[in-house]
Structure 1
Amino acid sequence: MPIRMSLASRLRHFLAEQEWAYAPHEAPVMPGSPGSPEHPGRRRLAYVLVSILLGLTGGLGNALVSANTTTLGGALGLDPAEIAWLPTVYVMTNVSINLLLIKFRQQFGLRPFALIFVGLYAALTLGHLFVSDFWSAILVRAASGMAAAPLSTFALYYMMQAMPAPARLRGVVLGIGIPQCATPLARLFSPELLAMSQWRTLYLFELGLALISLAAVLAFRLPPTTRQRAFERLDFLTFALFATSMALFAAVLGLGRIVWWTQAGWIGWALLAAIPMLAAALLIEHGRANPLLNTRWLASADIARFAIVTLMARIVLSEQTFGAVGLLTVLGQNNDQLLVFFAIMAVASFAGVLLSAATLNVEKLAHPVMLAVGIVAVAAFIDSRATSLTRAPQLYVTQALIAFSGTFFLGPALLFGMTRALKEGTGHIISFIALFGIINSLGGLAGSAILGTYQVVREKANSAALVQAIDPTDPIVQQRLQAGAAGLGRVVGDPGLRTAEGGALLAQTATREANVLAYDDVFRLVALLAAWTFTYLAFLLLRRAARMRRLGAA
C-alpha cells in the first residue's frame, strides 16, 4: 500500500504545474495559456526548435496519409471509397475536439495536458503499425485525429515563448503557419519512405516524430498557467451534439464526390441528422450564461464577414492540392516524378510563413488575406491554359505563388479574429477557436468537394462534346485510327482487332483531353471565386476607410 501511494504521489508531482511567481506583465492572458516571462537566448532557440517539431509532427500526421491514399489502399486491400475514409475520419474527430481541450487546459493546466495528449498521440501512432484491415484503420485514424489536435496548439505556444514581448504576435503567425507546410513536405518525403518498406515506413516515420515530440515536451516545459474550474454539465451535451454534427458534415464533404452525391443514400441520412443536431447545440448555447459557443457574437456582422472571407480563401487554395496535383496525375506523373515540384512548393510555403511574420501589421490584418486571394486569382487564371503537353515545370511559378499564399494569409486571419475575441472578453476565445478550426478543416474538405464535383461534371460535358466532334469519315480521324492500329501491328495479328484497339486508343486520348479541359475549367472557377473574394475584401476596406474619413471630418 505505501508503495502504491508513493507511485501515485510521484505521478501527481510529475503531472503537476510548477509554482511560478509572475510579474504583472508576465501573467497568462487567460486560464489555460502559458505565462510570458523573458527567457535566455538558448532557451528561446530550444523553444523555436520544439515549435517546429510539434507543428510538423501534427501536420504530417494527416498529410502522409492524404498524399499516399493509393499506396495505402493497395496495401490494405481497400477500394477508393474505403481509403477516402482514412483522411476524412481524421478530420471528423479533429474538427471539434478543441472545444473540450481548451477547457481541459483551463481546469487541469498545461503540464498534464501536454504529457497526456502528446503521449496518447505517440501511442496511437504506434497502433498504426498493427493496422491490418479497414475497421482497425478507421478506429486508429479517428483516435489520432483527436490526439493530434493539441500539437498545433503547442506549436503556437512554444513559438510565442521564443519571441521577445514586442514580437509575440509574429510568433503566433509563425506557430500557426508551420503545420501548413507539412503537405508539400509529405509529398516530398513519401517516395523515399515508401521505397524502404512500403506503407509501414510512413507510420514508423510518424512514430519517430511523435516520440521525439514527447521527449521535447518533457525536456522543455512551458511556463505554467493559471487554472480555474471550467467544465459545466451542459458542455458535454453541447459538445456531443455539435461534434457529431460536424463529423457528419465532414463525412459528407469528404466522401460525397467519390460515392457521388445522389447515388449514396447515407449522405441524405447524414445531413438529416446533422442539421437538427447543430441547431439543437446552437439553441442550447444561445440560452446559457457561460456558453461554449457564443452564438450572438458569432452571428455578428464582423465575425460573419470574417468567416465568409476565410472560408472562401480555404476553398480557392484547394486549387493546389486538388487541381494542380490532379492535373499532373491525369497526365501520368506521380510523386516520384514531382520531387522538384513539391520541393518548390515547400520552400514557397515556408517563405509565406516567414514573410507574413516579417510584414505583420496589426492595423492592417485584412490586407495579407486580400493579397493572398488576389495572387491565387492570377495564378489560377494562368494555369487555366494548361494542355495535355503541360508538365510540372510549366506550373512551378504559379504553384509556388499559390503555396506562398496558402501560408501567407493564415496567421493574419487568425489574429484578425483573435483580437476581436479578446476585445469582447476571454470567454469568446473558445468560440473563435471553434469557428477557426471548422473553417480550416471543413473549408479544406469543402474546397476539394466543390472543385472535385465541378471537375467530374465538366469532364462529362467535355467528353460528350469531343465524342460528338469525332466523325469516322473525317480523314484526320481515320488517320488517327490507322496510326493507333499500326502501333499494335507486331502484337495483334487480326486486322479487325487492330482497328478496334486503335479506336480504343483514340477513346483514351479523348478521355484524357476531356479531363485536361475539365481541370482548365476548375482553374477558371478558382480564379473567378478568388477574384470575387478579392473584390469583396477591397469593397469592405474602402467602405471602412470612407467611414473613418467621415468620422474624422465630423
Structure 2
Amino acid sequence: MSQPEAAPEAAPSAAAPAPFVPMSWLATLGYIGASVVIGLTQGLAQGFVSTNLPQIAGDLGVTTTQASWLMAAFMIPRASMPLLLIKIRTQFGLRRFAEVAILIYLAVSLAEFAISDLRSAVMVQFIAGMTSAPLSTLAFMYMLEPLPPKWKMRLGLPMVMATVAAGPMLARVISPALMGDHGWDGLHFMALGLAAISLGLVYALPLTSAPRVKVIAVMDLVSWLLIAIGFGGLTVGFIMGSIYWWTDVAWLGWVLALAIVALTLAAVIELHRKTPLLDIRWLASPAMVHLTITLLIFRLVLSEQSSGAPRMFQVLGVTQDQLVPLFAVITVATVLGGLALIPFMKPERVPLFHLIALALIATGAFMDSHSTIDTRPAQMMLSQALIAFAGSFFLAPAMMRGLISALARGPNYILSFVIVFLSTQSLGGAMGSGLFSTLINHRQALHLQVLSEDLTAADPLTVASIAQRSLALAPQVADAALLRAQAVALIAQDASAQAYVMAYNDAYFLTFLVALAALCALILHLFRDWLMARFWPLPASIPTNSEPAK
C-alpha cells in the first residue's frame, strides 16, 4: 500500500500558521478533486508495475524474476524521499515545490516511452519512484487546503488516505483494459495523461505557501543519504529475498549488512547532533516503540491482500481479467473504510477504530483460510472487502494520533513521526510481502512432499485417477506410454496446485492468529489503562500527554 508523507500543516517551520481563509464551494470541490486526481496518479503508478509484472517481463524479453527488479527499483526511494521533501518544501516554498515536483514527474512519464530493455526500465522506474513520492504530499496539501482547521483531520485525512490506498487496487481493475493490444505502452499513456492533468491542476489551483525557512543543514543530507541507503537495502532484501531465496545468493546478505551499517551510522550521527534530523531518543521511548510495533503489525497482516489472493489465483490459472470484479470490490471497500470514519473521527476513539479493524482483518483472514483448489474470486469478495475496509479504517486514525502526539512536542518532532510511519508502511509492506512469499514457498514444498508420498502406483485412488485422465486424453493421444505419461503429469500438476492452496491457507490462518493476538493484546492494554484511571488517577494539576495510537 502506498503511504503518504505527512499532513501539510505539520511541516516544520518556525513561523506561525497562516489564518484560514474560507473558499467558495466551487473552489473547495476543485481542490478536493485535484487531491483525488493527484493521489490516484501516485497510487496507479505504483500499482501498474506490481500488477502487470509477467506481461511487462514478456514485453522486455526477460524472466519474471529479472522483471522483479522493476518493482524493487520503484520502491527503493519511496521510504526515504519524503524526509528530504518535507525540508525542501519548507525551505524553498510550497508553491514552487508543487510546480517543480509535478513537472519532473511529467518528464519521467515521457521518458517511460524510451524504455528499450531491462536496464533502462530499471533506471526509469527508480527515477519514477523518486518523482512520485512528492505526489502523496501534494494530495494531502490539496485535500486539506480548503478545509477549516476542525475538518482537516476529521474529513481531509480519512479521504486522502483512502484515495492514496485505493490507487494500487484500482490499477488492477483498469490494467487489463489498458494493456490490451498495446502492452506496456498502454500503461505509459495512462500515466502520462494523469501527469498532464495533475500539472494543469497544480498551476490552476495554487497552494498557499508559508514563509520560507532555511532548515536544511549539510549533516541533514549526510544523515538522509545513510537512511536512504539503509531503507533501500532493506527494501531490496525483503523484495528479492523470497524470489532468489535467502540462502542461495551471497549478495543478499551483503545488501542487508550494508543497510544495517548505514542505519547504525545514521543513528550515531543523529544522537550527537544538537538539532538532529530525527530525534532517536524520542523514537526509542516506550510510547513510540508501541506505536511502531502497532503500525508494523497492521502492515504485516494487511500484506495478505497484496501478496495472498492475487498470487493464489495466478497459481489456479485465473487471469487478470477475471480478477477485475474482485479488485473493484476491494477498491470500493477501501474508499468506504475512509468515508466511514468521517462522522466519528476523534483522537479518543482511535483504540475503538483499531479494535474494529483487527476484528475485521481476523474475520476476513479466517474466511480465506478455508480456500480450496476450486475457489474463485467471487467466493473471496466478502473476506477481501472486510480486509480492505479495515486497512482504511486503521491508517487514518493511526496517523492522526501520531501527528497529534508529535505536534504536542513541537514541529521538530514531525520528521521523527514521519520516519516511523513511512518505515512501518513502506518497509513493512516489503517485509510483509517477502515473509508471506517465503512462508508460501516453504509450506508449499512441505505439502507437496506429503502429497507426493501418497501418490504411489500402489494407491488405488492414484491408479483410478490415472485411468480417468487417460480416458479423457485418449481421443488426442494414440500412444499408450505417452498417454499414461501425460495423465501422470496432469496429476502432478494438480498436486502442485493443491499444495499451493494448502500453503496459502496456512498463511491466511497465520494472519488470522496474528490479528487475533493483536486484538487480545489491545483489549488487555485498554483494560490496564481503565484500571489505572479508576484506581490510580493522576492529580488534576498534572497534565497527561497524548498517547500514540494503540
What range is the shorter-chain TM-score in? over 0.9
1:528 is aligned to 2:485:
no
SS of alignment partner, residue 545 of structure 1: helix
Consecutive unaligned residues of structure 2, counting only runs of 5 or more, are: 1-8, 540-550
Counterpart secondary structure, 1:288 = coil
Give CA-to-partner distance per residue, 1:148-172, whole Å, 9 cap, x none: 1111111111111232332111212
- Distance in 2 between the 1:215 and 1:373 partners? 40
Q: Per-residue CA shift, 1:192-239, capped at 9, x if unaligned? A: 101151110101101110111011010001112122110111111111
For 1:183 and 1:98, how far apart are their aligned partners in 2? 19
Aligned to 1:12: none
Question: Which sits farther off after the overlay, 164-173 or 198-207?
Answer: 164-173
Runs of 4+ in 1 over 6 A off after TM superposition: none
TM-score of the superposed pair, with normalisation by structure 1: 0.93
Residue equivalent to 2:486: 501
Identity %: 35
Distance in 1 between residues matched to 2:286 and 2:219, nearest whole Å: 27
Alignment counterpart, residue 346 of structure 2, candidates 355, 361, 383: 361
Structure 1: distance between partners of 2:468 and 2:316: 21
- The alpha carbon displacement at 1:359 in A equals 2.1
CA shift in 2, pair 1:469/1:228, >3 Å: same
SS of the residue corresponding to residue 341 of structure 2 reads: helix
Q: Does 1:352 align with 2:337?
A: yes
Question: Offset of 1:32 from its aligned partner?
Answer: 9.4
Q: Identify which of 129, 132, 141 aligns with 1:157.
A: 141
Do 2:10 and 2:414's aligned partners in 1 also have CA atoms closer than 8 Å?
Answer: no
Is residue 420 of structure 1 aligned with residue 405 of structure 2?
yes
CA distance in 2, matches of 1:541, 1:509: 48
Tell me: CA distance 1:465–1:32, structure 2 relative to 1, closer, same or farther (3 Å).
Answer: farther
Residues 524-552 of structure 1, C-alpha deviations (whole Å, 9 max, x = no match): 11111111221222222222222222344
Does 498-507 or 532-541 show the bigger shift?
A: 532-541
Aligned to 1:101: 85
1:206 aligns with 2:191: yes
Indicate whether 1:397 and 2:379 are aligned: no
Between the aligned partners of 2:503 and 2:457, the Cα distance in structure 1 is: 25
Partner of 2:75: 91
Equivalent residues of 2:178, 2:187 under 8 A apart: yes
Q: Distance in 2 between matches of 1:145 and 1:161?
A: 25
Aligned equivalents of 1:203 and 1:531: distance in 2? 42
User: Are positions 1:469 and 2:450 aligned together?
Assistant: no
Q: Residue 37 of structure 1 is aligned with which of 17, 21, 24?
A: 21
Q: Is the 8 A contact 2:10 2:403 kept in 1?
A: no
Match among 130, 155, 161 for residue 176 of structure 1? 161
Residue aligning to 2:227:
242
Give a deviation string over 1:12-51, Cα, whole Å, max 9, x none: xxxxxxxxxxxxxxx9975399743222211111111001
In structure 2, the residue corresponding to 1:365 is in which secondary structure? helix
Residue 174 of structure 1: how far off its partner (Å): 1.6
Aligned residue in 2 for 1:58? 42
CA deviation profile, 1:308-331 (whole Å, cap 9, x unmatched): 011110110111111111222221
Read off the aligned partner of 2:140 and give its amino acid letter: L
Q: Does 1:72 find its partner at 2:56?
A: yes
- For 1:89, the aligned partner's letter is A
Deviations 1:453-473 (A, max 9, x none): 001111011001111112312
Unmatched segments (≥5 aa) in structure 1: 1-26
Partner of 1:118: 102
Q: Answer whether contact 1:32 1:105 (CA < 8 A) is retained.
A: no
Deviates more, 1:379-388 or 1:169-178: 169-178
Structure 2-normalised TM-score? 0.93
Structure 2 partner of 1:550 = 535
User: How far apart, CA to CA, are the structure 1 residues paired with 2:320 and 2:129?
Assistant: 25
SS at match of 1:31: coil
From 378, 386, 396, give the equivalent of 2:371.
386
Query: Partner of 2:175 in structure 1?
Result: 190
Query: Could you say which residue in structure 1 is the equivalent of 2:275?
Result: 290
Distance 1:196 1:475 in 2: 48
Matched, 1:433 2:418: yes
| Separation in structure 1 between the aligned mates of residue 351 and residue 272 of structure 2, nearest angstrom | 32
Indicate if the aligned counterparts of 2:12 and 2:414 stay in contact, CA closer than 8 A. no
Partners of 2:243 and 2:321 lie apart in 1 by: 25
Structure 2 match to 1:322: 307
* Alpha-carbon distance in 2 for matches of 1:357, 1:149: 26
For residues 273 and 495 of structure 1, do their structure 2 counterparts lie closer, same or farther at Cα, with a shift above 3 Å needed? Answer: same
Matched residue, 2:248: 263
Give the aligned residue type for 1:165.
P
Give 1:433 deviation, angstroms.
Answer: 1.1
Tell me the residue number matched to 2:548: none
Distance in 2, Cα, partners of 1:553 & 1:151: 44
Residue of structure 2 equivalent to 1:307: 292
Is 1:486 equivalent to 2:471 in the alignment? yes
**In structure 1, C-alpha distance between the alignment counterparts of 2:417 and 2:376, rounded to whole Å:** 41
Paired amino acid for 2:42: G
Query: Aligned equivalents of 1:39 and 1:126: distance in 2?
Result: 35
The alpha carbon displacement at 1:75 in A equals 0.3
User: Take 2:213 and 2:309, find their aligned partners in 1: how far apart are those partners?
Assistant: 48
> Structure 2 counterpart of 1:550, which letter?
F
Q: Could you tell me which amino acid in structure 1 is paired with residue 470 of structure 2?
A: A
Q: CA RMSD in A?
A: 1.7
Which residue in 2 is equivalent to 1:223? Answer: 208
* Residue number in structure 2 paired with 1:336: 321
Letter aligned with residue 228 of structure 2: A
Provide the residue aligned with 1:374 in structure 2.
359
Q: Partners of 1:344 and 1:461 in 2: how far apart?
A: 33
Q: Secondary structure at the match of 1:48?
A: helix
Name the SS for the 1:481 alignment partner: helix
Tell which deviates more after alignment, 364-373 or 131-140: 364-373
For 2:83, the aligned partner's letter is: L
